[in-house]
Amino acid sequence: MEESLKQRLAMQLYDIQVLKFGEYKTKIGLRTPVYFDLRMIISYPDVMSSLAKALWALRDPEESVNRICGVPYTALPLATLIAAHNDVPMLMKRKEAKSYGTKKMIEGVIEPRHNCVIIEDVVTSGSSVLETADALRKEGLVVTDAFVIIDREQGGRKNLENHGIRVRSLYTITQIVQYLHEAGKITAETVKDVQDYLATNQAPVIHMQGSELNDRLKLSYGERAKKTSNPLTSKLLELMESKQTNLCLAADLTRTDAILRLADAVGPHIAVLKIHVNIIEDFSERFVTRLKEAARLHNFLLMEDCKFGDIGNTVLLQYRHGLYKIAEWADLITVHLVSGASVVNALRDGLKGITEPRGVFVVAEMSSQGALTVGDYMKSAVSIAEKTSDLVVGLVCQSNLSARPEMLQLTPGVHLSSSGDGLGQQYNDPQSVINAGADLAVVGRGITESSAGWLKAALDYKQPLWEAYEKRVGRRKV
């Protein structure tokens, strides 16, 4: 594309407020002095058409393109225009798989070994392109190129190149601000602010496709324990390996004597005992003392499933103070990130003076029907969790969301047979949850309400869960 045409198109993007300068925050709460809102282009057909033509012109004329796939959602209309104007079949990646029908992630006519080019609006870390490439490659397609409108120059290009994807961008952020400064649209101070931002805000290296994705699913708990710097993550993984259990028991009982009897009965066979302290009718400090003694005796960790979700200061007070003083006894807690990454920082502040290691499981997905923990919320939760792994032990989720060996996945809603409880809870069997990426499986009523007794029920879950894990890591023949 000619330089003059690129400059003219950049001015159009600025004039329709696609390019914004000032104080903005990214979807995971990071400050940025420049923001690209390319969703605006759908209201400007002429600009959208120009961008589609410019992106298609980035291709090498000597290379054939069999398919194109736009990263959802902003790039979808651009991919549609390219497909329609150039007679190239289009594929579409879903944000999340359907829960019914074929449950496909990629829609369209797929021909294995065909080349597929990814269309994207903005690349920062490259994670969205990598996720799309991973889904396409699983279908047998060849992905070697991504056509991008703007490269933010924050490490995304390098991340993609490391995974065999060449980035062809219409603009870099440096080129954009240079054009706008020369045209008098922005000041020299704004240019410097953007340059300073780029110099100090680089995206982390991403390991997704290939070795590390396979590592989390193929490495043993013991091997993974050596790959984390979080002492509680390492402790939990080593505990699971030594006890040969990946069972987390949800003790949703309302009386302390029942919880303590349950802990003594099944303690030798579980990795984590999970409670909801605010449903206990006779809570006392003596109960905490006895519960900690049971955990030491039977070598399991204690989790308070409070799902903290308020603003930072309130969460800090809830964690450290009040009747329950959770930070003083719970090895693990659960957290919703509806208030953003600041809640993790607040929990870290709440641990001042606590000498024993503590950890957090971030709720990324829930097992209840119609849960709103999907799409951008889920992606943001995973991103924040991975960036704060000094405190975050893992994710509460239903599917394989993280490639990192140090990030444990805790899956609730496990029953010996797939079913539901009539109140929106959906159950999956032990083998399916482990195959879907779970490291720890949460079982509650399947044990606590079993007519066979707590110990027998716990063993009935422990064995198939462990066998499924051993098959996953290749220790046991399928």
Q: Do residue 192 and residue 220 come from a single domain?
A: no
Q: Using CA atoms, how far apart are residues 137 and 209, in angstroms rounded to an integer?
A: 9
Annotated binding-site residue? 425: yes
**Residue ending a domain, choose from 173, 200, 227:** 200
Residues 413 and 297 in one domain: yes
125 is in an annotated binding site: no
pLDDT at residue 204, as a whole number: 74
Residue 50 marked ligand-binding = no
Domain end call among 136, 171, 200: 200
Which CATH number is 430's domain given?
A: 3.20.20.70
| Cross-strand partners of 250 | 274
pLDDT means over runs of 10, the chain (478 residues):
91 96 69 90 96 95 90 94 97 70 78 91 92 87 93 91 90 96 96 91 65 66 91 97 97 97 98 97 97 98 96 94 96 94 92 95 82 77 88 90 88 75 60 88 95 96 95 73
In sequence order, the 6+-apart residues with CB closer than 8 A to the CB of 215 are 224, 227, 403, 405
CATH code, 88: 3.40.50.2020
> Are 357 and 264 in a shared domain?
yes
pLDDT given for residue 214 in this prediction? 44
Residues 404 and 295 in one domain: yes
Residue 48 inside a domain? The answer is yes
Domain identity same for 153 and 222: no
- Active-site positions? 305, 307, 310
Co-location of 126 and 228 in the same domain: no
What pLDDT, on the 0 to 100 scale, is given for residue 367?
67
Question: pTM of the predicted model, to two decimals?
Answer: 0.59
Q: Confirm whether 269 is domain-assigned.
A: yes
Q: What is the pLDDT of residue 437?
A: 85
Indicate the burial class of 123 (C-beta count within 10 angstroms; 0-12, 13-18, 19 or more). Answer: buried
To the question of whether residue 290 is assigned a binding role by annotation, the answer is no
- Cα 294 from Cα 296, distance rounded (Å): 5
Q: Is residue 206 part of a domain?
A: no
Residue numbers of the domain that contains 162: 3-200
Q: Are residues 193 and 248 in the same domain?
A: no
Dist. CA 279–CA 443, nearest whole Å? 18
**274 known member of a binding site:** yes
379 annotated among ligand-binding-site residues? no
Residues 318 and 387 occupy one common structural domain: yes
The structural domain count of the chain equals 2
What is the structure's pLDDT at 211? Answer: 41
pLDDT at position 387 is: 86
